[in-house]
Structure 1
Amino acid sequence: MSPATAAEPKKRSLAPWQNAVSGATAGVISRFVIAPLDVIKIRFQLQTEELRLSRIRGGEVPAQVKYRGLAQSFTRIIREEGLRGLWKGNLSAEYLYLGYGAAQFYAYPEYERLLNRTTQYLNFKLPTEIVASLAGALAGCTATVATYPFDLLRTRFAVQGQHGPYSGLVDAIRQIAGKEGLPGFYRGVWPSMLQMMPQTGIVFASFSFFKKHLDGLKAGGMKDFISGGLAGMVGKAAVMPFDVVRKRLQVQGPERNSYVVGDVPRYPKGFLRCCRQIARYEGILALYKGLLPSLLKSGPSAAVTFLVVGACQKAFAAVDGVERQ
């Protein structure tokens, strides 16, 4: 934001609820766009075959591997589960993205203001990218805790077959609560926190960096779109092992052998112990399973998110005569 000068009155910022509505709108739209890639990514991440660099280079995939590549996975899911299979878990995921987007974009400017006030009080100034990174990390942590049960539900729905253990959202909540208790809704929450704090921080810092260097681009909202897409891919690549571990832990529980990816091994709760078990039996590269669909998902998702958030904030600013943050 441009500082107010002595000659002009200080402009009001957008209200927190307006930032929340902007984030929620962006979350719902971006989720629908990237849902099929998310389903495929999760299924890649939960397959337990060994992954070696020589196999990737040579294009060799063991015959027993169910999902082998993007095109083959799309085709197989549609053939076995119908077109709707590509949007499995989308209802819980829409709740997740709506809540996560609202919480994230509500919290981000509040943390940003708090950090700026704190550094001003202590009489030093942090670079814009550092403030964006710290505020983004704190906002990501807040949003993750607030919406984590929907993330777990999204994962379980994404990997259940035609006759999976859960008949719907209400049934899933009832079964998990009855069989696993409240902790069942938070399986894998610590790897998720370890992932989302740096990832969100990196995304917001990268977005700020790319947007600043695209100031010469005269393309309106495309600056938000391009900066968001690049930032999303950078952030996801940086924390991919956390995402794989999180998915493995989310499908633990009494129904872990009821999913379309086959029998899911039992994993220890700790992040490092789970990493060691995956690396030991599947190779270190297994911690990057699903990277390609994840990058293809994260780029458009972040691009659409920042584009829609920017458009919503501009609309609110135009109506209220306030300054966009």
Structure 2
Amino acid sequence: MADEIEYEALSPNAGLMVNMFAGSLAGITEHAVMFPIDSIKTRMQVFTTSPAAIYSGVGNAFTRISSTEGMRALWRGVSSVILGAGPAHAVHFGAYEAIKELAGGNEAGNQVVATAAAGACATVASDALMNPFDVIKQRMQVHNSEFRSVWTCARTVYAQEGFGAFYISYPTTLTMTVPFTAAQFTVYEHVKKILNPTNSYSPLTHVFAGGVSGAVAGAITTPLDVAKTLLQTRGTTDDQQIRHARGMVDAFRIIWQRDGLRGFGRGLTPRVLTFMPSNALCWLSYEFFKAAIRD
């Protein structure tokens, strides 16, 4: 690969299919690599009275899960992510690049509004595809999950709770991921332009900008992620109040009643630890695959 490439100029010229395929590969890479930390985050967010499922921190969770259930337990549900992340990220990045170009986000200067709008619109579309897979993933991640197969989990949830169970958290997911994505893309583009104003090929720039943007976006949206986890795993608990939660408002009420303000920060550390490297890897993979495919 040449030392100097008009790297960022690839966005408007590479074509929709290139952007979508690059996004698909980046999404699978991102989620698969950081999946064990995501599993720990899910378990720390679930409200339970079982001492075996209460963890004091990331290190404590990792040690106890790996020693009592085996390392494979930390990867339970990864197949659901791989199945969903490919098409969801393809739509996400394809829509992002198309809308950003249409809104003038590739023009000179920091086009914050265009970039944020493109990121938000891309999220609405991709989450519609990913939400059912995310529900299945979290059902498989919880402590003492009965599921070892994506298809078994999907069939059981559908039979016992109906199709709506796969989308009970969708409004909460959008409420979380639209600002998450808007913040992520805005911070990413801003940091990238500061560090790499010439738009030359710079993997370190994409890694750093991706990591910073992921950490910021992940931290500020953690309260909504706690609510999303409560809704997506409600069918795994015997707690009737949680089991009959009907949406984000109910979830927030339960979190406040059970744990107060502290409850909205459940899983903050593993969430940030997940999004810093995974976002950095995602952006590095996306930009690399996009350039490689076009070449």
Shift of 1:33: 1.4
* Residues in 1 aligned to 2:249 and 2:132: alpha-carbon distance in whole angstroms: 22
Counterpart for residue 109 of structure 1: 97
Counterpart for residue 257 of structure 2: 280
Amino acid at match of 2:210: G
Amino acid at match of 2:83: Y
User: Is residue 2:135 matched to residue 1:152?
Assistant: yes
What does the per-residue CA deviation read over 1:159-179, in whole Å, with 9 as the maximum and x for residues that have no partner?
Answer: 142xx3324111111112212
What does the per-residue CA deviation read over 1:272-309, in whole Å, with 9 as the maximum and x for residues that have no partner?
Answer: 33212211221112111000010000001100000001
1:207 to 180, 185, 188: 188
Segments of 5+ residues of structure 1 without an aligned counterpart are 5-10, 50-61, 320-325
* Residues in 2 aligned to 1:300 and 1:112: alpha-carbon distance in whole angstroms: 25
* Residues in 2 aligned to 1:133 and 1:152: alpha-carbon distance in whole angstroms: 26
Instruction: Please list, as runs of the form range in 1=range in 2, the aligned pairs for 1:161-172 lying within 5 A after superposition.
Output: 161=144, 164-172=145-153
Counterpart for residue 216 of structure 2: 234
Shift of 1:75: 0.9
* Residues in 1 aligned to 2:280 and 2:7: alpha-carbon distance in whole angstroms: 24
Bigger proportion of residues as helix: 2
Shift of 1:114: 2.8
Instruction: Please list, as runs of the form range in 1=range in 2, the aligned pairs for 1:1-325 lying within 5 A after superposition.
Output: 13-48=13-48, 66-116=54-104, 127-161=110-144, 164-215=145-196, 220-253=202-235, 255-257=236-238, 265-266=242-243, 268-317=245-294, 319=295
* Residues in 1 aligned to 2:7 and 2:164: alpha-carbon distance in whole angstroms: 46
**CA 1:165–1:129: 2 relative to 1, 3 Å:** same
* Residues in 1 aligned to 2:240 and 2:75: alpha-carbon distance in whole angstroms: 22
* Residues in 1 aligned to 2:74 and 2:98: alpha-carbon distance in whole angstroms: 36
Amino acid at match of 1:247: T
* Identical counterparts, % of pairs: 26
Does the Cα contact within 8 Å between 1:48 and 1:282 map onto a contact in 2? Answer: no
Amino acid at match of 2:134: D
* Residues in 2 aligned to 1:93 and 1:291: alpha-carbon distance in whole angstroms: 21
Q: Helix, strand or coil: the match of 2:103?
A: helix
Shift of 1:241: 0.9
What does the per-residue CA deviation read over 1:8-29, in whole Å, with 9 as the maximum and x for residues that have no partner?
Answer: xxx9711211111111111111
Shift of 1:127: 4.9
* Residues in 2 aligned to 1:154 and 1:263: alpha-carbon distance in whole angstroms: 22
Amino acid at match of 1:275: F
**CA 1:129–1:84: 2 relative to 1, 3 Å:** same
* Residues in 2 aligned to 1:224 and 1:27: alpha-carbon distance in whole angstroms: 15
What does the per-residue CA deviation read over 1:78-108, in whole Å, with 9 as the maximum and x for residues that have no partner?
Answer: 1121111111111001223222221111110
Does the Cα contact within 8 Å between 2:93 and 2:122 map onto a contact in 1? Answer: yes
Per the normalisation by structure 1, the TM-score is 0.81
* Residues in 2 aligned to 1:145 and 1:65: alpha-carbon distance in whole angstroms: 30
Does the Cα contact within 8 Å between 1:129 and 1:206 map onto a contact in 2? Answer: no
* Residues in 1 aligned to 2:61 and 2:162: alpha-carbon distance in whole angstroms: 34
Does the Cα contact within 8 Å between 2:234 and 2:245 map onto a contact in 1? Answer: no
* Residues in 1 aligned to 2:31 and 2:203: alpha-carbon distance in whole angstroms: 19
Shift of 1:63: 7.1
What does the per-residue CA deviation read over 1:24-82, in whole Å, with 9 as the maximum and x for residues that have no partner?
Answer: 11111111211110000000111357xxxxxxxxxxxx977621111111111111211
Counterpart for residue 55 of structure 1: none
What does the per-residue CA deviation read over 1:211-265, in whole Å, with 9 as the maximum and x for residues that have no partner?
Answer: 0111279982111111001000111112111100000000123x434xxxx9983
Across the two proteins, how many residue pairs are aligned to each other?
Answer: 287
Amino acid at match of 2:172: P
* Residues in 1 aligned to 2:287 and 2:177: alpha-carbon distance in whole angstroms: 22
Per the normalisation by structure 2, the TM-score is 0.89
Q: Helix, strand or coil: the match of 1:265?
A: helix
Larger radius of gyration: 1
Runs of 4+ in 1 over 3 A off after TM superposition: 1-4, 62-65, 216-219, 262-267
**CA 1:219–1:316: 2 relative to 1, 3 Å:** closer
Stretch moving more, 106-115 or 200-209:
106-115
